Amino acid sequence: MRAVQFSEYGPPAVVRVAEAEEPHAGPGTIRIAVRASGLSVGETYIRSGRMREVVPVTFPYRTGFDAAGVVDEVGEGVMGAGIGDEVFGMTAMSERGANADHAVLAAWAPKPAVWSWEEAGGAAGSVETATRVLDRLAVGAGHTVLVQGAAGGVGTVAVQLAVARGATVIGTARERNHDLLRSLGARPVTYGTGLPARVRALAPDGVDAVFDCAGGALPDLIAIAGDPARVVTIAPDLTAAALGVHMSHGVAGDETSSAIGAAADRLAVHGLGLSVELAAQGRLRVPVAAAFPLTEAAAAHELSERGHDPGKIVLVN
């Protein structure tokens, strides 16, 4: 089968589509024939070598951890999934390899009928990440939340999930993306110099939590929150620990934190089921910035690095 991988650190050009051995479903997992899969921004950082000191990898490194497709193998002990089912979900964090013709999913949910394959292929990672951080911040009804980088793949989903919890959401983005944020239920604000004053104008009583999807502005975000413990970042900001901000990344219940990082949080896979309900109610969509054929994975990485329209970049089979 075809699989996206890279065998050295470097620019997008090091990304290749290579022939790889097909994976097979084991106990508690399913295999899908992939229709679409997400491009992970975190993996572009890994590929560039930017994260080599904190995320060591073994080459060749196969990419992708969220995908959607049709079930073609069911592992021992799996209930509620059968051959031919249309699903979306995620691989084990220690395995990855979803940017391929076949992928083994460790967590999944039925593909919402209202989502295209492209939307479903890029959904699971964003849903899990957004749910994990909102849970850690204990966001609920009546809270005011600032989402920094609200027009990105995770940010757009985080806005909608926070709104569904009954929170008031302020989202930072370029002005050209403000209408999108309004359509998702957020009050938009432009990021950059002077952000604390602009947020104060929208939320004079302050904010209860800050979800940082973008990085590079932690001092301002701490000032807005009033306490670094009320800020969580998913950006690879190496100043976070020194500033007292938690940098969240996920670990499954059957994976040790020592393998993936002592600060890892348990994966919020319960968010996948909730997202199906919200999608059916018309309360959750997954904006897709661009869709590339699997064979053009390097071009997808290049677009991710230079900036793109709101939403998630996906690869289609």
Residue 136, both tokens = 């850690």
- 192 Cβ contact list (under 8 Å, min separation 6): none
Residue ranges per structural domain of the chain: 2-122+286-316, 127-265
Tokens 């950006």 correspond to: 235
- Cα(191)–Cα(174) distance, integer angstroms: 7
Give the Å distances, CA to CA, from 22 to 3, 16, 276, 316.
9, 17, 29, 18
Q: Cα–Cα distance between 170 and 172 in angstroms, integer?
A: 7
- SS3 label, residue 34: strand
Sheet holding 246-247, edge to edge: 187-189, 168-172, 144-148, 209-212, 231-233, 246-247
Residue 257: CA count within 13 A, CB half-sphere: 8
Q: What pLDDT does 254 receive?
A: 47
How many other β-carbons are positioned within 10 Å of the β-carbon of residue 171? 30
CATH topology for 127-265 is Rossmann fold (3.40.50)
- How far from 34 is each of 38, 39, 106, CA to CA, in Å? 11, 14, 14
Q: Residue 282: what pLDDT?
A: 96
pLDDT string in tens for the chain (317-residue length): 999 999 999 999 999 999 999 999 999 999 999 999 999 888 998 999 988 887 888 999 999 999 999 999 999 999 999 999 999 999 998 889 999 999 999 999 999 999 999 999 999 999 999 999 999 999 999 999 999 999 999 999 999 999 999 999 999 999 999 999 999 999 999 999 999 999 999 999 999 999 999 989 999 999 999 999 999 999 988 889 999 999 998 765 444 444 334 457 889 999 999 999 999 999 999 999 999 999 999 999 999 998 778 999 999 99
Cis peptide before 60 (omega within 30 of 0): yes
**What pLDDT sits at residue 252?**
56
State residue 41's pLDDT score: 87
CB count within 10 Å of CB 8 equals 10
Query: Nearest CA to 215 among 130, 285, 136, 155?
Result: 155
CATH superfamily, with its number, for domain 2-122+286-316 = Medium-chain alcohol dehydrogenases, catalytic domain (3.90.180.10)
Q: Which residue has the tokens 């302050």?
A: 206
Nearest-CA neighbor of 159 among 190, 140, 122, 185? 185
Residues 6+ apart with CB under 8 A from 156: 126, 150, 180, 184, 286, 287, 310, 311
Q: What pLDDT shows up at residue 94?
A: 84
